[in-house]
Amino acid sequence: MEGTLFSKMVRYDGMISNETRKLLIRLADRYETAEFITGDPSWWMHQVQGSRNQEATAFVASGLSYGSRSQFMPRIGQLLEWAGSDMDDWLRTGAYQEHFALGDKSCFYRLYNNDTMRRFLDAYRAMLVEHGSLGEYLSALHSPLSTLHSIEVICRWFSEHNGGAVVPKDASSACKRVCMFMRWMVRDGSPVDLGLWKNIIDKRTLIMPMDTHVVSEAMKLNLLTSRCASMSAAQRLTDAMREVFPDDPLKGDFALFGYGITPH
């Protein structure tokens, strides 16, 4: 099984010092707490009930999670208010169409206009109606699934269903927001992540959600040597974290977050 799950991983060929290893472990333990959720987009999925609703809320929230938190958090909150705190039902019934019209170029959030949102939500609704949930869609595929394969499947669905720009068209980019969503769904035993998909995807295959901030912090720790935020770079960083957290590499996501805000 391991050969299949890790067949596309790009091996980390550097050396992590004992000092850096201890630092990452200490930071991960310090920041992976319930307090981490406050102000984080993961907060929204903890405000609703039901696994399907939590999953749908998390996926939509992850799609809008770029730029400044002070700007995207209110936009996510607006959607959840319109949905009456039941994102799954709001999508499944098509009630969101009242707020987003095809062809409407009015801005909703930064690069996303109302037409962009409508196409994204239409594509997502099609999946929910046909397969029940995103998790059920993935679980119906051949298992065990790796995270990279799952991301490729998700990107392909939205590309083939005219889902617009919210979900990347393929997995060649770092797919930061999808990788973050996968962390929320797969990691179990966490006060932050839900673990709803713990039996669908092996958390050892999760990929670091990579943006410019993560790249910058990783380079300070000599975990990366390039500022390129590609999927291959995200895999290399994940592989470095696997050297420290072999059974749960995305504990390193909390460590890098902590490293970015802790004086050193």
pLDDT, residue 13, reads 54
pLDDT, residue 263, reads 66
pLDDT, residue 10, reads 42
- Residue 143 three-state SS: coil
pLDDT, residue 1, reads 37
All residue ranges of the chain with pLDDT < 50 are 1-12
Q: Which residue type occupies 113? A: N
Q: Which residue type occupies 254? A: F
Q: Which residue type occupies 131? A: H
232 CB neighbour count, 10 Å cutoff: 14
Cα(195)–Cα(183) distance, integer angstroms: 8
pLDDT, residue 7, reads 34
pLDDT, residue 164, reads 80
pLDDT, residue 251, reads 97
pLDDT, residue 34, reads 96
pLDDT, residue 264, reads 59
DSSP notation for 24-93: HHHHHHHHSSGGGGTTSGGGGGGSS-SHHHHHHHHHHHHHH--S-HHHHHHHHHHHHHHTTT-HHHHHHT
